A and B are shown apart, each in its own frame.
Chain A
């Protein structure tokens, strides 16, 4: 079964520092990959997605992720974080199901940006 592992449950970082949130997936077939963000007291919103093409994907709020097929990873990065980036981030892989693709989510990584 396909699964997603987010390697860090919490990542503390100072404002304006770079950050990387790690995600590994298990799949033997072509995949679609997603990062969602959940700000405090809000729902999940799409940050970025990889469907095909360039392995470097740019998303909203200055985030980007790189699809690495050989390492089965899809790490999320931002060169300089802001206090407002404090949120929980979920990596997800799309898996083939009986009635269309469905998402399998990782456990989430809480990003805490400190001033």
Chain B
């Protein structure tokens, strides 16, 4: 079974530029998550989708971050414009459903450096 795929693996941009990350979850997984992991910290949830609907985006900085999951499968996270403090690893995860005990499967992440 293929795991969670993310691209690109690395991205370097200058502040005020825009950037987009792509995630393809495990086939059949209804729930998709985007986490931000700043160096030296644990991952923090940015947004959770159940199929193509948003379940939780309370931690998403909506003035600059946006995310979509149009067909309930793959997802794109965008930052526009980027700030220095956005430098982090962006992790995508998926799970079969939103229930309490389901394991979340993580992709390898995209490391973003904002100069």
* A is bound by B: no
